[in-house]
Amino acid sequence: MIEVQNITFSYRDKSRPIFDNFCLKLEQNKVYGLLGENGTGKSTLLYLLMGLLRPNKGRIMVDGADVSRRQRSTLQQMYIVPEEFDLPQMQFTDYVETYRPFYPTFSNDILHRCMEEFHLPLDVRIDQLSMGNKKKALMSFALATNVRYLLMDEPTNGLDVPSKKQFRKVIATTMTEERTLIIATHQLHDVEALLDHVLILQDSQLLLNATVTDLCEKYTFDVRSNDALTDDVLYTERIPQGNATISLRQAEEEETPLNLELLFNAVTSKNIQDL
């Protein structure tokens, strides 16, 4: 478990803190979607969770250890795929041989399956790849580390449509009961089918901290005509097909898939009190 305990954090050139007395618990065996507008602290939170940034106050505990101490045993169970990164001038096989020994749970089988799914050869020169293919190679290595806590910052940025489908497949097929995956993203449709839990950040606070199961049990996400906009509708957006709506789910209604973008807009608009 990751426990964020009353942290305050601000950058030196910013007078206003990014987080102020912020708390959060992240459990194992879940895929979290970390959502928020630009500047709400999504990437900052990921770096704090990794111990790459230190809170001004409070602490972050990973399985009972303070992550800011950067203990080897803690870091061996954590990995982050940043939004932007550089890779060294070498073949991918050499990269793997260089960094694999640090991770005791590394799986060659997962590595091979991910690279095959992404249609990338293992002996490719990673410095000569496009940014999208560099991201796929790094995500393959990240998944192969088999760490307990995997963090990804905008993983689908720079990926084309087939690659986004491949991304969802490798995530779905490599998740285990021991792993926690935290995905910070603006590309909501790319990840909504993967998520177990939704976190929405705004103004240093969590506007929403809820499981997908609870959300789909409580609300219905559907498209209605103007005539069908009844009093049970909590939020609506006009779309070419009619009105995309969120309403309280009635006992006799079937469960509908989560519309993550609609949910995000409803929560961040703060126009309704029931979400």
Same-domain pairing of 99 and 164? yes
pLDDT tens digits, 67-115? 999 999 999 999 999 988 888 889 999 999 999 999 999 999 999 999 9
pLDDT tens digits, 147-172? 999 999 999 988 889 999 999 999 99
Which domain does 87 fall in, by range?
2-203
Asked if residue 274 has pLDDT above 70, the reply is no
Same-domain pairing of 125 and 56? yes
Asked if residue 271 has pLDDT above 90, the reply is no
208 is a domain residue: no
Same-domain pairing of 239 and 220? yes
| pLDDT for the residue numbered 149 | 95
Same-domain pairing of 193 and 251? no
Same-domain pairing of 148 and 35? yes
Count of domains forming the chain: 2
| Average of per-residue pLDDT across 248-266 | 90
273 is a domain residue: no
| pLDDT for the residue numbered 155 | 92
pLDDT tens digits, 107-146? 999 999 999 999 999 999 998 888 889 999 999 999 999 9
Lookup result for tokens 């560099």: 134
126 is a domain residue: yes
183 is a domain residue: yes
Asked if residue 202 has pLDDT above 90, the reply is no
Same-domain pairing of 96 and 69? yes
State the CATH number of the domain containing residue 9: 3.40.50.300
| pLDDT for the residue numbered 221 | 93
275 is a domain residue: no
Where would I find the H helices in 147-231?
Answer: 161-174, 188-191, 212-218
Residue 270's alpha-carbon distances to 23, 168, 199, 211, in angstroms, are: 21, 31, 15, 19
b/e per residue, 182-206, with b = 16+ CB within 10 A? Answer: bbbbeebebbbebbbbbbbbbebee
Same-domain pairing of 240 and 159? no
How many C-beta atoms surround the C-beta of residue 86 within 10 A? 7
Same-domain pairing of 197 and 225? no
| pLDDT for the residue numbered 273 | 54
pTM to 2 decimals? 0.91
Same-domain pairing of 253 and 164? no
Q: Which of 203, 230, 245 is where one domain is finished?
A: 203
Same-domain pairing of 217 and 168? no
149 is a domain residue: yes
Same-domain pairing of 255 and 143? no
Q: Which of 181, 203, 225 is where one domain is finished?
A: 203
**Where are the strands (E) in the chain, listed by range?**
2-9, 19-26, 30-36, 57-62, 65-66, 78-81, 149-153, 180-184, 197-202, 205-211, 219-224, 233-239, 242-248
Same-domain pairing of 255 and 120? no
Q: Which of 176, 203, 230 is where one domain is finished?
A: 203
pLDDT tens digits, 12-49? 876 688 899 999 999 888 999 999 988 888 999 999 99
